[in-house]
């Protein structure tokens, strides 16, 4: 007779969601150090997309199960690192040159930048979905909680980043770039050292 796998506790799901949301929080703060969010739409777009991607990635990972795990687990952290490093370096370059439009004048809560940030901050959630599938844990509740917490943390990050802004945006842009590169490096180190 097979042993039953116990369900994952609510507190475990919440702790997991908070841990996954930390990257979204840090990226939101980093972006907010450079951009003053004046529109409710900007707050909504960034938080909604970060939450949506954090919701979708565990579902995709769970659906993929063990079939693709061996193909992506060796490089998912490199993808997150590369995305965040490229964006961070672009911000550093813009801050060092005094360029007031590091994203080519584009709003980072729209278009390709929004997608890049959303993917970069949610790749860890894909691996979580894979892990939960191996444990035969139902994915809907954890994914919903993960998405909601990520959206809420993104809003908090945007709010606090706006509050931290000072009169010298060049230094804030450099700080934001360093934060993004730091998050990418953290993801890379966690996966390579704990592998």
Taking only the tens place, the pLDDT of each residue in 63-91 is 887 566 666 667 767 776 776 777 677 66
More confident site: 181 or 100 = 181
Report whether 80 contacts 124 (CB < 8 A): yes
Task: Give mean pLDDT, residues 9-33.
Answer: 83
For residue 67, the number of C-alpha atoms closer than 13 Å in the C-beta half-sphere is 6
- In this prediction, residue 70 carries a pLDDT of 64
Q: Which two tokens stand for residue 183?
A: 């998050």
Q: How would residue 4 be classed by pLDDT, with cut points 50, 70 and 90?
A: very low
Tally of CA atoms within 13 A in the half-sphere of 186 that contains its CB: 15
Supply angle C-alpha 76, 72, 128, rounded to 5: 70
Q: Has residue 153 got a pLDDT over 50?
A: yes
Which single residue is written with the structure tokens 């060796």? 74
Q: How far apart are CA 120 and CA 115, in angstroms?
A: 8
pLDDT the model gives residue 2? 41
Q: What is the pLDDT of residue 1?
A: 38
- Answer yes or no: is pLDDT of 167 > 60: no
């Amino acid at each position: 007779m097979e042993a039953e796998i116990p369900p994952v506790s609510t507190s475990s799901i919440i702790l997991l969601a908070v841990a996954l949301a930390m990257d979204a929080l840090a990226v939101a703060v980093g972006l907010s150090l450079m951009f003053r969010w004046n529109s409710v739409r900007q707050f909504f777009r960034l938080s909604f997309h970060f939450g949506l991607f954090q919701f979708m990635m565990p579902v995709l990972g769970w659906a993929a199960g063990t079939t693709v795990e061996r193909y992506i687990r060796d490089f998912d952290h490199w993808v997150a690192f590369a995305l965040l490093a490229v964006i961070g370096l672009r911000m550093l370059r813009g801050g060092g040159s005094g360029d007031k439009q590091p994203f080519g004048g584009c709003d980072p809560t729209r278009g390709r930048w929004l997608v890049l940030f959303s993917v970069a901050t949610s790749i860890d959630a894909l691996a979580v979905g894979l892990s939960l599938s191996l444990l035969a844990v139902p994915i809907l509740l954890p994914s919903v909680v993960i998405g909601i917490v990520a959206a809420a943390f993104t809003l908090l990050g945007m709010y606090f980043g706006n509050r931290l802004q000072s009169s010298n945006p060049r230094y804030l842009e450099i700080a934001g770039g360093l934060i993004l590169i730091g998050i990418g490096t953290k993801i890379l180190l966690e996966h390579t050292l704990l592998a």
